[in-house]
Structure 1
Amino acid sequence: MKRVVIATDGSQVSLDAACLLAHLPHNSKLDITVVSVIQGEQSYHRHASDEWVRGFVAKKTAEAEESFETILKMFEGSNATLRHEIRDGHVGQAIVRIAEELDSDLIVIGATGHSELSRILLGSTSDYVATHAHCSVLLVRPTGLIGANRAIRVAVAFDSTQPSRKCLTEFSEVPWGIGTDVMMVTALARFFGIMGEIAPSADAVANAESQVLQASQSVAKVAPKASAHVVQDENFGEGLVRFAEKHKCDIMFIGETKRTALGRSLVGSVSRYILRHAPCSVWVTRQSVAEADTSPHNNDSETTASSR
């Protein structure tokens, strides 16, 4: 995580997203581009006078510059450089486009809200960015972490597929330290048929426990207190969301493979479920097409716990 785009519209939700990133530890210098998108001439020229549009754009530009100054203060004293980019046009498209232009590693964006309804609806911009971005996306929801005197709680959804391993690699780029409560979690399916509930076999449970334990041990250098967990649910996404709710997580990591269909990333059903229903921020790590094509696990990309 070196090149980061922070999307802001001046709202408290977007400022909270920037604040969360500012509070995360990092070893490498961060090159941060704060993006403000103003729907000016392209959006309103047919419906308003030129004078009104110029006034609107000037007002929104001033607000964007004020938001940038607020974000700039959040990173004072950190190993980061920040610059401000103001674009015009479709908000989601502009954010995705500039991330591609800059070859960004991560986009940080605020979700619409924290209520059950707003979680389901997400928001047109955040949903578009999470779906179309070529790189990883951190979708931020407030969890009461900022200003609280407690450890950050992070869950990492893990299985043995390549997107999940890429997720683990990206997670390990952050020096979480002993002060972070890290939980490695994998989900197993329970099925309900004519004969009743069909639970995972003892061998399947033992194998899952072994894999998630190894995963937790593999991140010991950056997360010494990482613990291992296995959950069972009839729905993979719901099982992971319930885990996040039970443990009051602040961030959940999930892996995703960039698809070539329509030239964009198609978020899998489990990823989308978690994005919409998780009570916490969601960090979607995105595997590139090249990585997927050269992976020995590339045939598994559609069945990872984070993209089913």
Structure 2
Amino acid sequence: MKDIKKTLFATDFSDISATAQEHAVFLRDHLDCELEVVHVFDPDTFNMPTPYYFMPGVETWLDEHIATMKEKGDTALKDLIEKIAPCTGTFLEGKTGESICKHALETDCDMIVMGTHGHTGFNRLIMGSVAEYVVRHAHCSVLTIKPKQGDS
């Protein structure tokens, strides 16, 4: 069995990510491995159908909104890193599943820990597909964490 020397914990700051975080910290503490926390900001989630771009001010509003969301994600990541130290953290931008897999490969991670899905409704569907993508494409083992009973 291969030693786990570096674990990558992917978070979207949802309740299920908090549960996955517990597992990632447990692995770090019990296997004495490095822990890296990543959050991926996917600007494509803010794409609007073409007709909306013809409304005056929409492009400016959208650019400002995206910048604000990126800032919030970066701040949340820094706060989490401080909370669960010792660990490192990386804020990524791009397609979520692809970014997680690429970063795990580039940083030679031995395991990825993540929730099976994030928020509810449409976002839940998207996050579930991210976990599926990572399981199918990651170069290393992936530990997916299901919600606790009663969590959405």
Query: CA 1:122/1:58 → structure 2, altered by over 3 Å: closer, same or farther?
Result: closer
CA contact (8 A) 2:24 2:35 kept: no
Q: Is the 8 A contact 2:5 2:34 kept in 1?
A: yes
Stretches (4+) displaced over 3 A: 45-50
Q: Which amino acid aligns with 2:32?
A: S
Distance 2:49 2:128 in 1: 25
TM-score, with structure 2 as normaliser? 0.70
Alignment counterpart, residue 30 of structure 1, candidates 24, 34, 56 = 34
By percentage of residues, which structure has more strand?
A: 1
In 2 relative to 1, CA 74–128 (structure 1 residues): closer, same or farther, beyond 3 Å? same
Paired position in structure 2 for 1:11: 14
What letter corresponds to residue 72 of structure 2 in structure 1?
E
Give the alignment partner of residue 68 of structure 2, picking from 42, 56, 59: 59
Which residue matches 2:122? none
Letter in 1 for 2:128: G
1:218-246 deviations in Å (ceiling 9; x for gaps): xxxxxxxxxxxxxxxxxxxxxxxxxxxxx
Report matched runs for 1:117-156 at 5 Å. Answer: 123-143=128-148
CA pair 93-50 structure 1, distance change in 2 beyond 3 A: same
The reply on whether 1:87 has 2:93 as its aligned counterpart is: yes
User: Equivalents in 1 of 2:117, 2:87: separation in Å?
Assistant: 27
Question: After the TM superposition, which residues 167-182 of structure 1 pair with which residues of structure 2 at under 5 Å, given as runs?
Answer: none
- Relative to structure 1, the CA distance from residue 74 to residue 100 in structure 2 (aligned partners, 3 Å threshold; closer, same or farther) is same
Q: CA deviation at 1:23?
A: 3.0
Distance in structure 2 (CA, Å) of the matches to 1:54 and 1:70: 24
Q: Larger RCO: Structure 1 or Structure 2 (Cα < 8 Å, ≥ 6 residues apart)? A: 2
Q: Which 5+ residue runs of structure 2 have no aligned equivalent?
A: 119-125
Paired with 1:37 and 1:81, the residues of 2 have a C-alpha distance of 17
**How far apart are the structure 1 equivalents of 2:47 and 2:62?**
7
Determine which structure has more spread, i.e. the larger CA radius of gyration: 1
Task: Give, in angstroms, the shift of residue 97 of structure 1.
Answer: 1.1
Question: C-alpha distance in 2, partners of 1:55/1:41?
Answer: 15
Name the structure 2 match of 1:218.
Answer: none
Residues 4 and 53 of structure 1, relative CA distance in 2, 3 Å threshold: farther
The alignment of Structure 1 onto Structure 2 pairs a total of residues equal to 132
What runs of 5+ residues in structure 1 fail to find an aligned partner? 114-120, 145-308
Structure 2 counterpart of 1:56, one-letter code: H
Aligned-partner Cα distance in 2 for 1:43–1:96 = 22
CA contact 1:17–1:110 (8 Å) conserved in 2: yes
Return the structure number with greater helix share.
Answer: 2
CA 1:82 to 1:46, structure 2 compared with 1: closer, same or farther past 3 Å?
same
Q: Of 94, 103, 111, which aligns to 1:98?
A: 103
CA drift at 1:94: 1.1
The Cα shift of 1:70 comes to 4.3
% of aligned pairs identical?
27
CA distance in 1, matches of 2:78, 2:110: 23
